[in-house]
Amino acid sequence: MTFWRRATPPREATPHPVPVEQPVPHELGAAPHGQEEIGKDGEPRRTPLRPLAQILWARNEGQNPDGIAQANLTKRNAAIADRSRTRAQGRLFMLGIGFFCAFSMIGLRMGHLAASDPVAPRASFSGANIDSTRADIVDRHGRLLATNLPTHSLYAQPHHMIEPEKAAAALAEIFPDLNAAKLKEQFTGARKFVWIKRTLSPEQMQAVHDIGEPGLLFGPREMRLYPNGALAAHILGGTSFGAEGVHSAEVIGIAGIEKALDARLRDPAQAGDPLRLSLDLTVQSTFEQVLHGGMVLMNAKGAAGVLMDAHTGEIVAMASLPDFDPNDRPAALTSGDASDSPLFNRAVQGLYELGSTFKPFAAAQALELGLVNAQTPIDTTSPLVWGKFKIRDFRNYGPSLSLTDVIVKSSNTGTARLARDIGGVRQRAFLDALGLLDPVPIELVEAGSARPQFAERWSEIHTFTISYGHGISSSPLHLAAAYAPLVNGGHKVTPTLVQRSRAAPIPAGAQVLRPEVSRAVTDMMAQVVERGTARFAQVEGYPVAGKTGTAEKPLSRGGGYHEDKVIASFAAGFPADDVRYVLVVALDEPVETSGEEPRRTAGWTAVPVAAEIVRRTAPLMGLLPEIDVEAPPGLIRTSN
């Protein structure tokens, strides 16, 4: 039994004269009779003495103390109940307001919905929405290179089929590549969903409609269309379906720029904004046509070419042959050499020892370092012996040649001696500055893996061989990018396929050569065309400055070179007096057989092809031919 200090009468109805003892005045004041004294925690304050006194008093009076305690308890419960009731009143009121708000909100929302227009069902998925938007790709003049075409996929829901056997037979008739027996097995099995075709032509779709089978259904989707077929195939790459749903399918890039810029192309915010490439559709078409003709004429197994703006690095045309149709991408080779697949982009992925086309780099660096000038005689005694290696020239050019003639006649020994004077460390730094030692950062997914190959330990013999393009493998695109400073006044360019807006032009790259060095090297290369190895590159009206390169292909097992398999390349800038474009043409295993013995050198194979490219594309790019106004009028000697 708990004794409580303030035992007031048990009930109001029966007031009981409780003698109030006198201990603490403020307590008395706070609690007149009939009131409970309540502490801040809601419990009556207890003191041990008073209940005892009270009970003593009750005993004295002959009353039952239990009754007093009970009355006390009742009193307290009543007080608690009163207090909780007031609190509950407030809270119930809040609850009522809450319910009122909730019901009003539902009512308002109903009204809002009822007032809005019903929407026709659209194809979309909750949760897993497949976004099929993909921006178009156009060339520098806005001509279409890649777009989307609405089409349909075909799928079956066998449990809705009426005559599965008949449907299977009819489908096999429409699509010869489908197997009726297999379809029948799928349609009569337990599956409830079967994909049949990813894309349909309108005629095929109508034919499937005509079967009249309710279990055959069409799903709308978009497919990627390359209206120019194989044109610029390696640049565009191709697409495939990603996440596929009944209502739409994701179109994702799997190669080329479609993959490299997949995020940009699929960005819904830029879906209406086509991706504008630096390519020129007409030039690209001509370029491919000439390159293909040259490849056939020169009996080459492959060809690659890059035509690049020498100042901005914008690729105007780039091709690799043989090519493919990105609308119907062939499967990747599962065996053999990947570089034999038409999917292989020789211009970007093909790493070749490009031979003598590297010689102008050595000449340029020697000029830049002030070691020589264009007329300095260079020792060209052949052979040049370094350890067990002997470096020879194609022909013996005598004891010395001027620097210009070293390039014009393409002397290996002369270039190697230049490189020796430059030194391996400076040579490596220069090639690195030209971008020849790293993958080209172009917007093609394949470019990232095309890292030039060279011996990591750059010894003196490597310095020698690399100076004339052996012992280092790089792609034609590398070569084009590295040639730009040789001919454009000396600043580095970064090749790009995306046309920059005029508002944000490409910033000029770092100056790697002095302008006068660039001019001197261009002049040397102009003489290569004029009187050297590239005389076939003389194009009427368009002076060309370039350098040939004929490199024997290394044996696939290593340890030596093929005798009769070469990579013939020609790297050039044109027009020579004010270079606007850099052109690189490389032929894989060309043989020119019009003469008495097969000719494989670049001067006979790559150069004529490059000349034809210049002849055909320069006017397309708006270059005016140089007309010799000082030619004497009157009698003109003609010849064929």
- 372/528 Cα distance (integer angstroms): 19
Among candidate residues 153, 278, 320, 356, the one labeled active-site is 356
| Bridge partners for 581 per DSSP | 309, 574
* Residues contacting 136, CB < 8 A, separation 6+: 144, 145, 146, 147, 148, 274, 275
Instruction: Pick between residue 129 and residue 206 the one whose CB is nearest to another protein.
Output: 129
449 is an active site residue: no
Query: Which among 63-71, 75-83, 134-142, 533-541 is the span making contact with another protein, rule CB under 8 A?
Result: 75-83
The DSSP annotation for 484-518 comes to HHHHTTSB----BSBPPPTTSPPPP--B-S-HHHH
Cβ burial, residue 458 (10 Å; 0-12/13-18/19+)? middle
Q: Does 77 bind another protein (CB under 8 A)?
A: yes
Nearer to another protein among residue 72 and residue 349 (C-beta): 72
DSSP state of 269: G
CB of 107 to another protein, least distance (A): 5
Q: What is the DSSP string of 414-463?
A: HHHHHHHHH-HHHHHHHHHHTTTTS----S-TTGGG---EE-SS--HHHH
Residue 108 or 624 having the CB closest to another protein: 108
CB of 46 to another protein, least distance (A): 12
Q: How many residues bind another protein (CB under 8 A)?
A: 47
Q: Is 195 in the site for another protein (CB under 8 A)?
A: no
Three-state SS letters, 312-326? CCEEEEEEEECCCCH
Residues 154-183 that bind another protein (CB under 8 A): none
- One-letter-per-residue 3-state SS of 178-198: CCHHHHHHHHHCCCCCEEEEE
Shortest Cβ 186–another protein spacing (Å): 25
Q: What's the number of CA atoms in the CB half-sphere (13 Å) around residue 283? A: 26
> Please, which residue, 42 or 399, has the CB nearer to another protein?
42
Residue window 353-392: x/- pattern of binding to another protein, with contact defined by CB under 8 A:
----------------------------------------
Q: Which of 49, 52, 81, 385 binds another protein (CB under 8 A)?
A: 81
What gap in Å lies between CA 279 and CA 315, rounded to an integer? 6
Site for another protein contains 70 (CB under 8 A): no
Residue 624 tokens read as 């005016």
**What is the closest distance, in whole angstroms, from the C-beta atom of residue 36 to another protein in the complex?**
9
Q: How far is the CB of 79 from another protein (least distance, A)?
A: 8
In whole angstroms, how close is the CB of 84 to another protein at the nearest point? 6
CB of 53 to another protein, least distance (A): 22
How far apart are alpha carbons 599 and 590 in whole angstroms? 8
CB-wise, 99 or 195, nearer to another protein? 99
Which residues face 185 on adjacent strands? Answer: none
Nearer to another protein, 74 or 396 (CB): 74
Can residue 243 be called a binding residue for another protein (CB under 8 A)? no
Element (H, E) at 202: helix 202-211
> Could you say which of 122, 457, 502, 637 contacts another protein (CB under 8 A)?
122
Contacting another protein within 265-284 (CB under 8 A): none
Listed ranges 80-88, 203-211, 260-268, 387-395: which one lies at the site for another protein (CB under 8 A)? 80-88
87-115 burial, b at 16+ Cβ within 10 Å, e below that, comes to: eeeeeeeeeeeeeeeeeeeeeeeeeeeee
The answer to the question of residue 64 lying near another protein (CB under 8 A) is no
Residue number with CB closer to another protein (113 or 629): 113
118 near another protein, judged by CB under 8 A: yes
Cis peptide before 322 (omega within 30 of 0): yes
d(CA 342, CA 419): 38
Candidates 124-132, 312-320, 459-467, 492-500 — which segment interacts with another protein by CB under 8 A?
124-132
Backbone angles phi, psi at 561, to 5 degrees: -130, 150
How many other C-beta atoms can be found within 10 angstroms of the C-beta atom of residue 620?
A: 16
- The nearest distance, CB 89 to another protein, in angstroms, is 5
Q: Pairing state of beta strands 144-156 and 302-309?
A: unpaired
Please tell me the distance from the alpha carbon of residue 82 to that of residue 576, in angstroms, as a whole number: 105
Token pair, residue 110, equals 């109903």
Measure the CA–CA gap between 526 and 366, rounded to whole angstroms. Answer: 18
Least distance CB 264 / another protein (angstroms): 24
Residue from 29, 40, 61, 113 binding another protein (CB under 8 A): 113
CB of 72 to another protein, least distance (A): 9
Name the residue nearer to another protein (CB basis): 121 or 634.
121
For residue 26, give every residue at least 6 positions away whose Cβ sits within 8 Å of its Cβ, in sequence order, or none: none
Whichever of 125 and 389 has its CB closer to another protein, that residue is: 125
Interaction residues for another protein, span 82-111 (CB under 8 A): 82-89, 91-93, 95-96, 99-100, 102-103, 105-107, 109-111
Cα separation of 415 and 412, whole Å? 5
Write the interaction track for another protein spanning residues 4-33; mark x where CB under 8 A is met and - where it is not. Answer: --------xx--------------------
List 141's β-bridge partners, or say none.
none
Residues of this chain, 540-579, that bind another protein according to CB under 8 A = none
Binding flag, residue 116, another protein (CB under 8 A): yes
Tell me whether residue 132 or residue 402 sits nearer to another protein (CB atom): 132
Output 88 or 332, the one with its CB closest to another protein. Answer: 88
Question: Closest distance between another protein and the C-beta of residue 88, in Å?
Answer: 5
Judged by CB under 8 A, the residue of 14, 26, 29, 119 near another protein is 119
Q: Looking at 116-124, 166-174, 304-312, 372-380, which segment touches another protein (CB under 8 A)?
A: 116-124
State the distance between the two ends of the chain, measured CA to CA, in whole angstroms: 136
Kindly give, in sequence order, each residue whose CB lies less than 8 Å from that of residue 126, ignoring residues fewer than 6 positions away.
none
Among positions 64, 70, 129, 593, the unique one binding another protein when judged by CB under 8 A: 129
From the list 121, 370, 387, 559, which residue makes contact with another protein (rule: CB under 8 A)? Answer: 121
Residues for the chain: how many in total?
640
Active site residues: 356
Q: Which residues bind another protein (CB under 8 A)?
A: 12-13, 34-35, 73, 76-77, 80-89, 91-93, 95-96, 99-100, 102-103, 105-107, 109-111, 113-122, 124-127, 129
